[in-house]
Structure 1
Amino acid sequence: MLRVVHRQGTITAAAEVLHLTPSAVSHHMRELSRELKIPLLEPQGRRVRLTQAAHVLLGHADTLLSQWEQTLADLDSHRAGETGPLRMAGFTTAAAGLLAPAAGRLKTTHPDLRVLVRECDTDVSLELLLAGEADLAIIEPTEEAPPPGDPRFDQRPLLHEPLDLAVPAGHPLAGSGAVTLEDVADEAWIVSDPDGCDHKRQLMVHCSAAGFTPRIEHEATTWTVIWSLVANGMGVSLIPRLIDGLQLPGVVRVPLTGESRPTRRLLTCVRRGSREHPVIAMGVRALQDVIDGSPAVAA
């Protein structure tokens, strides 16, 4: 709870994340402060901030919580009949292309296991993990994501996903077996740029590596709108391989090749110490099975 208060900056915002009332969070903070005989919070305008003593406590809390998660995992390994729940979270394309198929596999192989999937941005997934509202998340490493050594999280590689080129069905490159980014340097580009999405930054980085700056003319907040813009000849776009099942008519996917061939890294993220929990381990294995069963995704 103290970690969430620190991250959110107000008691009210922390209470919303934790699904508690502000008075309950305030009560717990006062009780913890009383038990430890140190002040934990101090006002900062309309917000609150942690005292130096509270920061010391958080440093130890990360270690203690990691050990507690490992303890739970060890105990659960001795239980029979795992029923969950397994709560998985991830951004749109990861939820559609990986989490949903993995949940379907688990429903078949472990019918007694309760699996819950939530589509949300990476920052929300991390908040859910910290609040104990999610057990396993798929995230993409970005500048805003926690660093690899963050003591709160265990982050491990899951997939290097290719990005393809989306062009209108009548485009000269629509029949090509593969093209390079350099081949479309003069095209108008369409990007997805909602909060929490890294699509625009990825396009800029990959095109820069290919030696040009993309001419971005259209921005959208959903992949459906991007598909429609491409289908109607308004430009081209970079699309994740995982989005294949969401494709609409009028758009052709063209594989990209060459030294500047773009990919993106996806990671599994859990609370540190919890990865060996039997139910979470089943979730990770199911995700890997989905990837292994779809060679085009991992190509």
Structure 2
Amino acid sequence: MIDLRRLHVLRAVAHYGTVTAAAQALHFTPSAASQQIRQLARDLGVDLLEPQGRGVRLTPAAQSLLAHADAIQARWEEAELDLRAEHGAPAGQLRVCGFTTAVSVLLAPMAVRLRERYPRLTVRIQETGVPESFDLLFEGETDLAVVDVTPRNPPLSDARFDQQPLLDDRYDLVVPDDHPLAGRGHVDLAEAAHEDWIAPVPESPCRPHVMSACGAAGFTPSVVHHALDWNATAHLVAHRLGVALIPRLAHLTPHLPITRVHCTGNPHRKLLTATRQGCRTRPAVAAALEELRELAPTAVA
């Protein structure tokens, strides 16, 4: 019989990439985590880890076992749903997370609506980065995440997560009110190729979207300023320090002397909802997803 606790340690190693990182996430010592995997290997009579440089990697047997482990986890989520169902009425605690803009524009109003409709349901919101959202889902610390698509996301085929489209968030070119492009209904980004640009910091998941949009228009932007926050970006634009691409979902400080100009080709980022596989049909999660689907069209109008 496979010890499911040991199997979870192996899944954590696959998710975090190293035994040390997995141990930290599970509140184990690295030696204890390694011991759990060694014992699982002995139980099964196969090698699960093999040396790779200074670290280790999963063996083909471990990869095969993980496919079954992910299916077991999904079935366990479904079993919990069956056992805890209360006539389909959302109740208890729902934990959700998302990046800053998603919290402000989607998750906060969603929580208000759920509180009004389902008095027995409590919503807990946590602001997180995209990679951290998937970590929290994997660890069972959150039930639903709103994420944007980045190169670091797990693939849509990842059996551990159920990722579904929520909305396309279009980027506008943001310029000072007195900029020559400010009076245009639409603008080709190539017309801003020689401008000074304000872009997200290099580690931001939004930076690839901005750079890709400019690349598709045939140029690499001359980035002179970097910002973490869209409102900080907007203030830099207002002071005529450059132009920027800002997603429509970002609500900017009112009355700034800036203009949003729609871009031909509609550059955008894709937002997804993510849950653990088998969790999407839980009453509370299903109710939250329904609210998000209703809020999404108006959020980017």
Q: TM-score by structure 1 length?
A: 0.85
- SS at 2:175 equivalent: strand
Question: What letter matches 1:135 in structure 2?
Answer: D
Question: Whose RCO is larger (CA < 8 A, sep 6+)?
Answer: 1
What are the within-5 Å matches in structure 2 for residues 49-128 of structure 1?
49-79=57-87, 82-128=90-136
Q: Distance in 2 between matches of 1:30 and 1:152?
A: 23
Q: CA deviation at 1:12?
A: 3.5
- SS at 2:250 equivalent: helix
Q: Distance in 1 between matches of 2:177 and 2:27?
A: 48
Partner of residue 202, structure 1: 209
Segment of structure 1 superposing worse, 150-159 or 93-102: 93-102
Match of 2:146 among 134, 138, 149: 138
Residue 283 of structure 2 corresponds to residue 278 of structure 1: yes
Match of 1:290 among 281, 287, 295: 295
Per-residue deviation, residues 231-289 of structure 1 (Å, max 9, x unmatched): 21101111111111x4254242414143x221221111111221111111111112112
- SS at 2:262 equivalent: coil
User: Is there any run of 5+ residues in structure 2 with no aligned partner, and where?
Assistant: 1-8
Task: Say if 1:85 and 1:114, in contact at 8 Å, map to a contact too.
Answer: yes
Segment of structure 1 superposing worse, 139-148 or 23-32: 23-32
- SS at 2:163 equivalent: strand
Q: TM-score by structure 2 length?
A: 0.85
Question: What letter matches 1:123 in structure 2?
Answer: P
Match of 1:265 among 262, 267, 270: 270
Are residues 19 and 242 of structure 1, via their aligned partners in 2, closer, same or farther at CA, if it must alter by over 3 Å?
farther
Partner of residue 224, structure 2: 217
Question: What letter matches 1:231 in structure 2?
Answer: A
How many residues in Structure 1 have an aligned counterpart in Structure 2? 293
- SS at 1:266 equivalent: strand
Question: What letter matches 2:260 in structure 1?
Answer: V
Partner of residue 179, structure 1: 187
Are residues 52 and 167 of structure 1, via their aligned partners in 2, closer, same or farther at CA, if it must alter by over 3 Å?
same
Are residues 158 and 191 of structure 1, via their aligned partners in 2, closer, same or farther at CA, if it must alter by over 3 Å?
same
Partner of residue 228, structure 1: 235
Question: What letter matches 2:234 in structure 1?
Answer: W
Task: Say if 1:227 and 1:248, in contact at 8 Å, map to a contact too.
Answer: no
Partner of residue 247, structure 1: 253
Q: CA deviation at 1:137?
A: 1.2
Are residues 254 and 102 of structure 1, via their aligned partners in 2, closer, same or farther at CA, if it must alter by over 3 Å?
same
Match of 2:198 among 186, 190, 196: 190
- SS at 2:226 equivalent: strand
Per-residue deviation, residues 170-224 of structure 1 (Å, max 9, x unmatched): 43444544434244333211111253x2332222222233333322221122334
Aligned-residue CA RMSD (Å): 2.6
Q: CA deviation at 1:227?
A: 2.3
User: Is there any run of 5+ residues in structure 1 with no aligned partner, and where?
Assistant: none
Partner of residue 262, structure 2: 256
Question: What letter matches 1:199 in structure 2?
Answer: C
Give the fraction of aligned pairs with identical amino acids, expressed as a percent. 45
Q: Distance in 2 between matches of 1:6 and 1:43?
A: 15
Q: CA deviation at 1:78?
A: 4.3
Q: Distance in 2 between matches of 1:159 and 1:135?
A: 20
Q: Distance in 1 between matches of 2:283 and 2:134?
A: 21
Segment of structure 1 superposing worse, 180-189 or 54-63: 180-189
Task: Say if 1:99 and 1:117, in contact at 8 Å, map to a contact too.
Answer: yes
Task: Say if 1:76 and 1:278, in contact at 8 Å, map to a contact too.
Answer: no
- SS at 2:219 equivalent: coil
Moved over 6 A (4+): none
Are residues 44 and 34 of structure 1, via their aligned partners in 2, closer, same or farther at CA, if it must alter by over 3 Å?
same
Are residues 185 and 52 of structure 1, via their aligned partners in 2, closer, same or farther at CA, if it must alter by over 3 Å?
closer
Q: Distance in 2 between matches of 1:193 and 1:241?
A: 19
Q: CA deviation at 1:34?
A: 4.8
Q: CA deviation at 1:28?
A: 4.2
